[in-house]
Amino acid sequence: MVNPANEVDLLVKEKLIPFRERIVDAIAAKHPMLISILDAILMAKSNRIGLEVTDGGAAVGRYTLHLKGIRIAEVEFDKLDPAVHHPLLGLIRPAVSVERRTIEALLADEDRIREEPFSSIARHLPGVTIRFL
């Protein structure tokens, strides 16, 4: 039997991260200026986003996503250490908490999200919480 934490690690590493990159590519194809502006803003500093995966409200995985621009360059497992250098606010520490079933629903909805990313993602936002550490 596979350890549930390892299942979540695999879900994040092998499915969620590649999914996110495909969605960024789809948005870049439709809105290249938006992506280039965001990329330019984020490229100047080393930024990290926290990701906490929950199952029934209980944390089952914690990750630090290292960004290179808007792309994920590295994932640290079992560590929640966000740090984003905001041009006006200075250092902020955003962490996203998301239910495992929300991740699975996002993955299942990939075709729709690629076609209409903003409205499709909005349908899944009730399962996502952004907090600042």
Q: Where along the chain do its domains lie?
A: 4-132
Model pLDDT, residue 4: 56
Residue 108, Cβ density class (10 Å: 0-12 exposed, 13-18 middle, ≥19 buried): exposed
Confidence bin at 41 (pLDDT 50/70/90) = confident
Contacts for 26 with CB less than 8 Å, ≥ 6 apart:
113, 114, 117
In this predicted structure, the answer to whether residue 3 has a pLDDT above a threshold of 70 is no
Report residue 73 as tokens: 């360059």
Q: What is the pLDDT of residues 85-121, one digit of tens each?
A: 887 888 999 999 999 999 999 999 999 999 998 888 8
CATH node for 4-132: 3.30.1050
